[in-house]
Amino acid sequence: MTFDQLVDREKILELIEQGTGKGVKVGILDSGVDFTHSAIADAAHRSFDVRESQGTFVAREGPGTDVLGHGTMCAGVIHEIAPEAELYNIKTLDERGQNSPGKVICGIQCAIAQGLHVLNLSLVSLNMSRNTIVDMLYWVEKAYYNGMILVAATDNKQKRGFPGDYSSVIAVDFQHFPDFKSFNYFLGKPVEIEAKGVYVQAPFPGNTYISTTCTSIACPHITGLVARLLSSMPGLTPFQAKTLLMAARANGEKG
Amino acid sequence: MDILESIERVSKAIEALSSEVRDLKSLAAGAFPSGPYSVRAERRECDDQVKIVLSYLAMSPGMERDELLNTLLTCAMNVVRAEGAGLCLYDDRKDVLIFRAATGIAADQIIGLEVPLTNSQHGIAFRMRQVIASTPMNRAIDATTGEHYRNVLVAPLLVDDEAIGTLSAVNKKHEDQFTPQDIDDYTGFAEVAAHIIRQRLREYNLKQIVEGDAAKIPLELSGVKSLTSDADLLEIIKNIVSIGRRSPEMIPLCRQLIGAMANMD
Residues near B167 by Cβ (< 8 Å), separated by ≥ 6?
B73, B76, B85, B86, B87, B88, B154, B155, B157, B186, B189, B190, B193, B194
Asked whether residue B124 falls in the same domain as residue B180, the answer is yes
Q: CA of B67 to nearest chain A CA: how many angstroms apart?
A: 28
Asked whether residue B79 falls in the same domain as residue B113, the answer is yes
The nearest alpha carbon in chain B to A122 belongs to B128
Residue B155 in domain: yes
DSSP letter for B177, please: S
Residues near A51 by Cβ (< 8 Å), separated by ≥ 6?
A57, A58, A60, A94
Q: Identify the residue among B80, B95, B130 best suited for mutation to test binding to A, counting A beta carbons within 10 A and taking the highest.
A: B130
User: Which residues from chain B sit within 8 angstroms of residue A215, using beta carbons?
Assistant: 130
B150/B141 Cα distance (integer angstroms): 12
pLDDT band of A5, cuts 50, 70, 90: confident
On whether any CB of chain A is under 8 Å from the CB of B134, the answer is yes
The minimal CB distance from B124 to the residues A68, A176, A208 is found for A68
User: Which residues from chain A sit within 8 angstroms of residue B159, using beta carbons?
Assistant: none
Asked whether residue B82 falls in the same domain as residue B178, the answer is yes
Residue B170 in domain: yes
A50/A62 Cα distance (integer angstroms): 9
The nearest alpha carbon in chain A to B156 belongs to A156
The pLDDT of A201-223, averaged and rounded, is 93
Asked whether residue B78 falls in the same domain as residue B42, the answer is no
The nearest alpha carbon in chain A to B161 belongs to A126
pLDDT, position B5: 65
Asked whether residue B167 falls in the same domain as residue B68, the answer is yes
Q: CA of B114 to nearest chain A CA: how many angstroms apart?
A: 16
Q: CB–CB of A214 and B132 under 8 A?
A: yes
pTM over 0.80: no
What's the structural domain count of chain B?
A: 2
B146/B16 Cα distance (integer angstroms): 38
Q: Identify the residue among B91, B95, B119 best suited for mutation to test binding to A, counting A beta carbons within 10 A and taking the highest.
A: B119
pLDDT, position B204: 74
pLDDT band of B33, cuts 50, 70, 90: very low
Residue B220 in domain: no
Domain range spanning residue B31? 1-59
For the beta sheet containing A193-196, the strands, ordered from the edge strand earlier in sequence to the opposite edge, are: A56-61, A44-53, A86-91, A25-30, A118-121, A149-153, A170-175, A193-196, A184-185
Asked whether residue B46 falls in the same domain as residue B74, the answer is no
Q: CA of B197 to nearest chain A CA: how many angstroms apart?
A: 19
On whether any CB of chain A is under 8 Å from the CB of B177, the answer is yes
The yes-or-no verdict on residue A47 having pLDDT over 90 is yes
On whether any CB of chain A is under 8 Å from the CB of B167, the answer is no
**Tens-place pLDDT, residues B108-141:** 999 999 999 988 889 999 988 888 998 887 777 8
The minimal CB distance from B183 to the residues A122, A126, A156 is found for A156
pLDDT, position B36: 44
The yes-or-no verdict on residue B4 having pLDDT over 70 is no
One DSSP character per residue, chain A reads --HHHHS-HHHHHHHHHH---TT-EEEEEES---TTSTTTGGGEEEEEEEEEETTEEEEEE-----SSSHHHHHHHHHHHHSTTSEEEEEE---TT----HHHHHHHHHHHHHTT-SEEEE---B-S--HHHHHHHHHHHHHHHHTTPEEEEE--TT----BTTTSTTSEEEEEE--SSTT--EE-TTSSS-EEEE-SSEEEEETTTEEEEEESHHHHHHHHHHHHHHHHHHSTT--HHHHHHHHHHT-TTSS--
If you average pLDDT over every residue of chain A, what do you get?
93
Q: CB–CB of B133 and A155 under 8 A?
A: no
Residues near A149 by Cβ (< 8 Å), separated by ≥ 6?
A117, A118, A119, A170, A226, A230, A236, A238, A241
B176/B82 Cα distance (integer angstroms): 11
User: Which residues from chain A sit within 8 angstroms of residue B160, using beta carbons?
Assistant: 127
On whether any CB of chain A is under 8 Å from the CB of B95, the answer is yes
Say which residue, A225 or B258, is predicted with more confidence. A225
pLDDT, position B27: 47
Asked whether residue B29 falls in the same domain as residue B123, the answer is no
Asked whether residue B69 falls in the same domain as residue B51, the answer is no
Lowest mean pLDDT, pick from A30-39, B49-58, B172-181, B238-247:
B49-58
pLDDT band of A99, cuts 50, 70, 90: confident
Say which residue, A228 or B69, is predicted with more confidence. A228
Residue B119 in domain: yes
Asked whether residue B51 falls in the same domain as residue B9, the answer is yes
CATH (domain of B69): 3.30.450.40
Residues for chain B: how many in total? Answer: 265
Ordered domains of chain A (ranges, CATH): 3-247 (3.40.50.200)
User: Which residues from chain B sit within 8 angstroms of residue A124, using beta carbons?
Assistant: 129-130
pLDDT band of B193, cuts 50, 70, 90: very high
Nearest alpha-carbon partner for B87 in B101, B106, B70, B104: B101
On whether any CB of chain A is under 8 Å from the CB of B187, the answer is yes
Residue B68 in domain: yes
Q: What pairs with residue A88 in β-bridges?
A: A27, A46
Percent of chain B with pLDDT over 70: 67
Q: Identify the residue among B134, B135, B177 best suited for mutation to test binding to A, counting A beta carbons within 10 A and taking the highest.
A: B134
Say which residue, B254 or B132, is predicted with more confidence. B132
**Tens-place pLDDT, residues A133-169:** 999 999 999 999 999 999 999 876 667 789 999 999 9
Say which residue, B105 or B20, is predicted with more confidence. B105
Lowest mean pLDDT, pick from A200-214, B47-61, B151-165:
B47-61
Whether the Cβ atoms of residue A176 and residue A198 lie closer than 8 Å to each other: yes
Count of other CB atoms within 10 angstroms of residue A2: 8
> Does an H or E element contain B144, and which?
helix B139-145
On whether any CB of chain A is under 8 Å from the CB of B34, the answer is no
pLDDT, position B93: 86
- Look up the ipTM and state it: 0.83
Lowest mean pLDDT, pick from A120-129, B145-154, B243-252:
B243-252
Asked whether residue B85 falls in the same domain as residue B179, the answer is yes
